[in-house]
Structure 1
Amino acid sequence: MSNHLAATVTLTNAKMQFAASTRTNPIVQMDYFPPIGDGEGYTGLEMLLMSFAGCSASSIVPLLRRMRKTVAGFVVNASGDRREQHPTCFHTITAEYVVTSPDIEEEDMQKAIQMSEETYCPVWAMLKGNVTITTSFRIER
């Protein structure tokens, strides 16, 4: 894995729609809410929220599997609250992790979430100290 990552973002219409891509992955549409944009793509903060959810999930699931636990399903429900004044960045993010498993216990989830926060999720590390992040989890059998 390279330590260098790159992305290209290109304006695609007269308002605020952009095409974003990395490597040879499919293009993702970015836009802003009307009237500034047309609302036909993800905003930067929505992409940041998805990035946090995906990054934490992609560390928690392998950690649970390394504990020899069965992960039959995994969903992250993430939401964020923005500041009123500019820059209107997130001041809080809430993440609910929902795992489907016959053998994962509460202690397993607590440990995996803690390890994701403290060691394995680079997006979490970047947000930490700037955004209050609250987590919860639910285990479904």
Structure 2
Amino acid sequence: MDEIVEVDVSLDSGMKFIGRDAEGREVVMDAAPEHGGEGAGFKPMALLLISFGTCTAMDAVSIMRKKKQDVARFSIHLKGTRVADHPRVYSKIEVRFVFFGRDLSEEAARRSVELSQEKYCSVGGMLRKAVPIDIKVETRPG
């Protein structure tokens, strides 16, 4: 059965908006000062990268744990390149996954990210239809 997701976005002041999900959690978004905002919240395109990064990170870390890999820390860095002309979409997205832990398998890390990208991450699945995504995976001690 299909899942319905509903959110509301409302104007707070100036160009600051509040997004709310069905459980009442909020996120603040605001335009830069040169566009009438105060820079007091996320820009929507940055929030898109954060959503993608969080979606695929949750998958990859969960899969690594199921593979009995001792992930002590994890970070993900995303860089989006936007075109100059409106609507200023991303022309490419670069993603670097870094798993930290003792005796981590590079193959397990690579496969975990691959499974996230190919099967589980819905945000990535949407983005891949519109923009090239370059993925790098690292394992480090610690």
Whether TM-score is above 0.5 comes out as yes
**Amino acid of the structure 2 residue aligned with 1:122:** S
Letter in 2 for 1:81: T
The alpha-carbon deviation at position 26 of structure 1 amounts to 3.4
Question: What does residue 66 of structure 2 align with?
Answer: 66
* Equivalences for residues 71-110 of structure 1 within 5 A: 71-110=71-110
* TM-aligned CA deviation for residue 25 of structure 1: 4.5
Letter in 1 for 2:7: A
Gaps of 5+ in 1: none
Letter in 1 for 2:30: D
Residue type of the alignment partner of 1:125 = G
Secondary structure at the aligned position of 1:134 is classed as: strand
Name the SS for the 1:10 alignment partner: strand
Where does residue 4 of structure 2 map in the other structure? 4
Runs ≥4 residues deviating over 2 A: 23-26
Paired with 1:140 and 1:68, the residues of 2 have a C-alpha distance of 16
Q: For residues 1-141 of structure 1, what are the structure 2 equivalents within 5 Å?
A: 3-13=3-13, 15-36=14-35, 37-141=37-141
Name the aligned partner's letter for residue 12 of structure 2: T
Between structures 1 and 2, the one with greater strand share: 2
Identity, % of aligned positions = 29
Residues of 1 paired with 2:11 and 2:24: CA distance? Answer: 18
| Other structure's SS at 2:99 match | strand
Q: Partners of 1:122 and 1:27 in 2: how far apart? A: 21
Provide closer, same or farther for how the CA distance between residues 120 and 135 of structure 1 changes in structure 2, counting only shifts above 3 A: same
TM-score by length of 2: 0.92
| Structure 1 residues 60-96: Cα deviation after superposition (integer angstroms, max 9, x where no partner) | 0111111111111111111111011111011111111
Q: Distance in 2 between matches of 1:102 and 1:5?
A: 39
CA distance in 1 between counterparts of 2:25 and 2:120 reads: 26
